Amino acid sequence: MSFLKSLGSIFKSEPKNNEPETMESVEYEGFTITPAPVSEEMGFRVNGTIVKGEKRHTFIRADVLPSQQACADEMVRKAKQMIDQQGDSFFQ
């Protein structure tokens, strides 16, 4: 049995650090959009913040994309869409 455990440990990967890495912020219509993709087993989850003045909204979605940059780009696109549709109302 110990042989099988040894064999299994060879193929077992270390758990990923799921702490989001903050990427470069984008200014849009008076808001600051900061992507922070979360590393997951299948790719990167759309995550970040939208800030205006003292107000802050954490933005996380179910979308998982294969690359960190694609994920950051998608977060910015979705955040801009939300700002265009809702303005400041999503802070409430």
pLDDT (tens digit per residue) in 31-61: 999 999 999 999 999 999 999 999 999 989 9
Question: Can you read off the two tokens belonging to residue 49?
Answer: 């913040």
The structural domain count of the chain equals: 1
The residue with greater pLDDT, 3 or 66, is 66
87 inside domain:
yes
Q: Residue 17 has what pLDDT?
A: 59
More confident residue, 60 or 2: 60
- 1 is a domain residue: no
As a whole number of angstroms, the distance between CA 4 and CA 46 comes to: 38
In angstroms, the CA 49 to CA 43 distance is 19
- Yes or no: say if 43 and 66 are a contact pair by the CB < 8 Å rule: yes
Tell whether 6 is covered by a domain: no
Q: How many CA atoms lie within 13 A of 32 on its CB side?
A: 12
